[in-house]
Amino acid sequence: MEQVITSRKNPLLQQVRKLLSSRKAREEAGLFAADGTKLLQEAVRYYPGLDTVILSEGVQAQVPETVRVIRVPEDVMASISPMETPQGALFLCRLPEKKEFIPTPGMLLLDGIQDPGNLGTILRTADALDIPVALLEGCADPFSHKVVRASMGAVFRVQPVLTTWEEASGKCRQAGIPIGVTALSERAKDLRQADLQTMAVVIGSEGRGVRQVILDSADAELIIPMNPHCESLNAAVAATIVLWQMKQ
């Protein structure tokens, strides 16, 4: 049965605003918020943690009977939606249980990817190519609404693993998996000549690249061949090239 909320000051709607804006609020509540009818369909189909759905008047959605459904006027939806033109659907999901980092040959490690659009795009591409991804320190929250949207629901299908460089490098070494890093250096090897399927490959942040501590202990430095007058590539584009090469 649907519940109708008309007040913008309703505690649930105030909580939604906090979940949309604060990683700390998400972690404390064990919930995250996302928006959009297409993403809601993905959550219904793939994600067991769908908790509450908030719909504008006139917007219909097929959701499981166990999920709470709230109906709000359009102006109230506009007051809580992060989108300039709301689609009329916001929803809350329970955060997944933290997963253990298990090293795998042919996986991607992300170091300090802070831009939500880049992180979401990388997660979406990795999901499409069925390549595991782990997030090292300094990455954006994979359950922020911007990352969820940019991932086109990939986080509902494959939950990203969060780990530290210390844990990731230690477990890769124990498993005999060499670590490669993308780097602009004279020592770097053309990644087309490297066997990426056997490696864990680190992609660095948009601004500073891979941290020095990772560069210092990596087994191989890799470079994407490109026009000499180009300094670098967008992190998501670089990751896509690495992901594609892993499949070759």
DSSP letter string, the chain: --EE---TT-HHHHHHHHHHH-HHHHHHHTEEEEE-HHHHHHHHHH-TTEEEEEEETT------TTSEEEEE-HHHHHHH-SSSS--SEEEEEEPPPPPPP---SSEEEE-S---HHHHHHHHHHHHHHT--EEE-TTPPPTTSHHHHHHTTTHHHHSPPEE--HHHHHHHHHHHT--EEEE--STTPEEGGGS-GGGSEEEE-BTTTBS-HHHHHH-SEEEE----TT-----HHHHHHHHHHHHT-
Q: What is the pLDDT of residues 125-166, one digit of tens each?
A: 999 999 999 999 999 999 999 999 999 999 999 988 999 999
Q: How are beta strands 3-4 and 68-72 bridged, if at all?
A: parallel
Give the pLDDT score at 27: 96
Return the percentage of the chain with pLDDT > 70, whole number: 98
What band does 184 get if pLDDT is binned at 50, 70 and 90? low
Q: What are phi and psi of 162, to 5 degrees?
A: -105, 135
Residue 106 pLDDT level (bands cut at 50, 70, 90): very high
Q: How far apart are CA 56 and CA 241, in angstroms?
A: 40
**Residues 5-16: tens digit of each pLDDT:** 999 999 999 999
How confident is the model over 34-72, as pLDDT tens digits? 999 999 999 999 999 999 999 999 999 999 999 999 999
Residue pair 92/26 in contact (Cβ under 8 Å)? The answer is no
Closest CA to 170 of 161, 180, 162, 179: 179
Query: How much is the pLDDT for 194?
Result: 79
pLDDT in tens, 80-92: 999 988 899 999 9
- Please report which confidence band the pLDDT of residue 186 belongs to, taking 50, 70 and 90 as the band edges: low
In the sheet where 50-56 sits, what is the strand order? Answer: 3-4, 68-72, 50-56, 89-94, 31-35
Average pLDDT across the chain, whole number: 92
Instruction: Say what the pLDDT of residue 15 is.
Output: 97
